[in-house]
């Protein structure tokens, strides 16, 4: 009995040794294949999608990856961080395949307004990010924020951007010329539209624009030459004409 038990134990031990050796061999085998593959696979191409304003060359330079670099040594997280450091890029998705191609899909942010501050001019997106110093370049159809400092006048700056976003989506409102926005406090936000100062203040843009539309019709009907329109009040609109020093008050009637 003891001899048979010893033989079975020896046989089982031999099987385990062979099994372990086989597993170890396969591990080294596949590790060798992996090392060979990762050593020989190179970046063959970089494809960029979604760029409209940004140039392909500028994007590739920013990611700092070149053809011939080791594919598996290319860290996608690092590439993503480099792309997101570009102010014009809002979103980025990066993938790579075994053919050696790196695919970069980006979504660019859009300029919402122009900021004119201390003799410098910037394009600004809807988050208030200064995208680019455009110098003396002329950009048509974008509202201009005048001397509203993003740091010193932060609340007024955000309020002005909110109003610009509203105007962008308010398709019923039209302007013939450039729109300029000033104000150091949210309640002082003033918009110059078609040569008329409109004191808009903060919030309730739908109601204020509705009152403004009504008043513009009244102004046109009465043939008034207006300098200032104040729509910040709930129960009245104050209008100042160029010929009179006193304010005229136009009360909006309830429209059914």
Per residue in 94-103, pLDDT (tens digit) is 998 888 888 9
Using one digit for the tens of pLDDT, what is the confidence trace for 56-82?
999 999 988 888 888 877 888 999 999
Give the confidence band of 252 by pLDDT, cuts at 50, 70, 90. low
Q: What local confidence, expressed as pLDDT, does residue 19 receive? A: 56
Domains 45-108 and 111-250 share a fold: no
> What dotted CATH number matches 111-250?
3.40.50
- The predicted pLDDT at position 240 comes to 85
pTM: 0.70
DSSP per-residue string spanning the chain: -HHHHHHHHHHHHHHHHHHHHHHHHHHHHHHHHHHHHHHH-B--EEEEES-SSS-HHHHHHHHT--TTSBSTT--HHHHHHHHHTSTTEEEEEEEE-TTSEEEEEEEE--EEEEEEETTEEEEEETT--EEEE-TT---TT--EEES--TTTTHHHHHHHHHHHHHHHH-TT---SS-EEEE-SSGGG-EEEETTEEEE--SS-HHHHHHHHHHHHHHHHHHT--EEEEE---SS-EEEEESS-SSEEEEPPPPP-
> Would you kindly state where each structural domain of the chain is located, as residue ranges?
45-108, 111-250
Predicted confidence band of residue 255 (pLDDT cuts 50, 70, 90): very low
What is the structure's pLDDT at 5? Answer: 47
Mean pLDDT of 84-96: 91
Residue 8 has pLDDT above 60, yes or no: no
Confidence of residue 237 (pLDDT cuts 50, 70, 90): confident
User: Which tens digit of pLDDT belongs to each residue from 169-178?
Assistant: 875 555 566 7
Which of these ranges, 114-123, 173-182, 206-215, 219-228, has the smallest mean pLDDT? 173-182
pLDDT, residue 191, reads 92
Q: Is the pLDDT of residue 208 over 90?
A: no
Average pLDDT score, the chain:
80
* Least confident residue range of 35-39, 145-149, 180-184, 218-222: 35-39
Average pLDDT over residues 194-218: 85
pLDDT of 167 strictly over 60:
yes
pLDDT at 242 over 70: yes
Decide which of 28 and 151 is more confident. Answer: 151
Does the pLDDT at position 157 exceed 90? Answer: yes
Average pLDDT value for residue range 89-109: 90
Q: What's the CATH number for 45-108?
A: 3.10.20.310
9: pLDDT confidence band, cut at 50, 70 and 90? low
pLDDT of residue 256: 39
């Amino acid at each position: 009995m003891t001899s048979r038990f010893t033989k079975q134990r020896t046989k089982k031990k031999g099987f385990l040794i062979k099994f372990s050796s086989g597993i170890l061999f396969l591990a080294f085998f596949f590790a060798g294949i992996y090392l060979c593959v990762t050593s020989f696979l190179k970046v063959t191409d970089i494809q960029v999608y979604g760029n409209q304003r940004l140039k392909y060359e500028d994007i590739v330079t920013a990611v700092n990856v070149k053809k011939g670099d080791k594919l598996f040594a290319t860290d996608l997280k690092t590439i993503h961080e480099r792309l997101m450091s570009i102010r014009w890029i809002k979103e980025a998705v990066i993938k790579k395949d075994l053919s050696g191609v790196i695919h970069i899909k980006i979504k660019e942010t859009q300029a919402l307004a122009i900021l004119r501050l201390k003799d410098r001019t910037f394009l600004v997106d809807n988050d208030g990010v200064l995208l680019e110093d455009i110098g003396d370049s002329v950009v048509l159809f974008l509202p201009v924020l005048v001397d509203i400092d993003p740091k010193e006048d932060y609340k007024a700056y955000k309020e002005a951007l909110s109003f610009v976003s509203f105007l962008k989506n308010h398709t019923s409102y039209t302007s013939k010329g450039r729109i300029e926005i000033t104000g150091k406090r949210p309640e002082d936000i003033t918009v110059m539209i078609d040569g008329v100062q409109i004191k808009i203040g903060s919030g309730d843009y739908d109601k204020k624009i509705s009152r403004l539309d009504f008043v513009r019709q009244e102004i046109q009907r009465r043939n008034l030459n207006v300098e200032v329109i104040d729509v910040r009040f709930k129960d009245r609109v104050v209008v100042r004409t160029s010929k009179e020093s006193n304010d005229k008050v136009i009360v909006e009637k309830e429209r059914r």
